[in-house]
Amino acid sequence: MARFVLRRLLQSCVVLLGVTLVVFLLLQLVPGDPVRVALGTRFDPQTYEALRARAGLDQPLVAQYFDYLGRALTGDLGVSFRSGRPVTSIVLERLPATLSLAVTAVVFATLIAFPLGILSAIRSGSFVDHAARVFSQFGVSVPDFWMGIMGILLFAGVLGWLPPSGYVALTEDPAGWASHVALPAATVGLVTASILTRFIRSSMLEVLSEDYVRTAEAKGLRTRVVVLRHVLRNALIPVVTVVAVQLASLLGGVIVIEVLFAWPGIGRLTYDSVQARDYPVLQGAILLVAALFLLVNLLVDILYARLDPRITVR
C-alpha cells in the first residue's frame, strides 16, 4: 500500500509538471498585455520596459518557463502583478474558504442523496421514487445561480434568517461561519445532490437485480441487512467516483456561486485574476486546483481498494 501511494504521488508530480506547461503556454495565447493592464493610465514606455524586465517578461519563453518552474519547486510562485504580494500566500489564504464550502456542500449533498437514492431504488415506481426523480430533474436543470438568488431572496430577504453574502472564517467564529456557509453550500449542494441521487438510484437498481442479492434474500436476511450489506456496498463503488469528481470540481471553486455570495474562495480568485490579467495568480490558482484534484483522485483509488477486494493496489 505504501509503495502504491508513493508511486501514485510520483505520477501526480509528473501530471502537475504537465499542468504547469499547459497553463504557461495557454496564458501566452491569451490576448492582452498584463503589464499594460497593470500600469493602466500611468503608462509610459520607460516604466513599461522596467516592469517587463522585473517580471522577466523580456526573456525568451523557454527561459521564462524554466525560471518559473525552478522557483515553483521552492514554493515561490511569483508575485502578483496587481498587488505585488507573493502568489503562494494569496492562493493559500483562499484555500480555507473554498475547502469549507466544498466539503460542507458535499456533506449536505450526500446526506440528501443517499437516503433518497436508496429509497428511490428499493421502492422503485413508488411515490418516493417519483418525488426523488422530480427533485433530481429540478436540481440538474435549474441553474445554480438562480437557485442562489432565490435562496438569498427567501432566507435573507423575506425570512431574514441568514446573511445574504459574505464570509467568516471557521476558526474565528464557528457560528458566524455556519450562518454564512449555509446558503452557498445548500445552493451548490442541491445540484450535487441531484446528480448523486440519480447515480445512487441507478447503481442500486443495477445491483438489486444481481444474483447475489437473490441469494441474500434466499438466506432470509432482513431487508435492511440485504440493502445495506449486500446491495449498498456494491452500489457504492461507482458512486464513489461521482462523489469524488463532484468534490474535486467544487474544490476548483464554484465561480458563479462564489461571486454571487461574495465568498473569497479559489473560484472568486480565478475570476478576479482573469479580469485583471494577473497571470502569476491565475497560474498559481490553477496549479493548486490541479494538485487538489490529483489528491482527491489518489484518495478515491485507495478507497476503491477498500471497497472492492477484486482491486489490488500494488
Indicate the residue among 48 and 304 with the shorter CB distance to other proteins: 304
Q: Residue 213 burial (CB < 10 Å; 0-12/13-18/19+)?
A: middle
Q: Which is nearer to other proteins, 152 or 207 (CB)?
A: 207
CB of 240 to other proteins, least distance (A): 13
Residues 6+ apart with CB under 8 A from 133: 120, 201
**Shortest Cβ distance from residue 247 to other proteins (Å)?**
23
Closer by beta carbon to other proteins, 31 or else 127: 127
The gap from C-alpha 108 to its chain's centroid, in whole angstroms, comes to: 14
DSSP reduced 3-state for 33: coil
Smallest gap from residue 307 Cβ to other proteins (A)? 7
Nearer to other proteins (CB atom), residue 221 or residue 291: 221
Q: 22 and 38 in contact (C-beta within 8 Å)?
A: no
Return d(Cα 163, Cα 149) in angstroms, integer. 13
Matching residue, cell 467564529 = 173
| Minimum separation from the CB atom of position 215 to other proteins (A) | 5
Question: Nearest approach, Cβ of 235 to other proteins (angstroms)?
Answer: 10
Nearer to other proteins, 203 or 283 (CB): 203
User: Of 3 and 222, which CB lies nearer to other proteins in the complex structure?
Assistant: 222
SS3 track for 117-138: HHHHHHCCCCHHHHHHHHHHHH
Please provide residue 57's backbone torsions phi and psi, each rounded to the nearest 5 degrees.
-75, -10
Q: What is the closest distance, in whole angstroms, from the C-beta atom of residue 129 to other proteins in the complex?
A: 13
**Which positions lie near other proteins, rule CB under 8 A?**
210-212, 214-222, 225, 229-230, 233-234, 307-310
Cβ distance 274 to 286 under 8 Å?
no
Question: Residue 3 Cβ, how far from other proteins at the closest point, in Å?
Answer: 22
Beta bridge partners of 79: 86
Residue 68 is placed in which grid cell?
Answer: 518559473
Nearer to other proteins, 234 or 273 (CB): 234
Q: At what angle do helices 174-208 and 87-122 cross, to 10 degrees?
A: 40
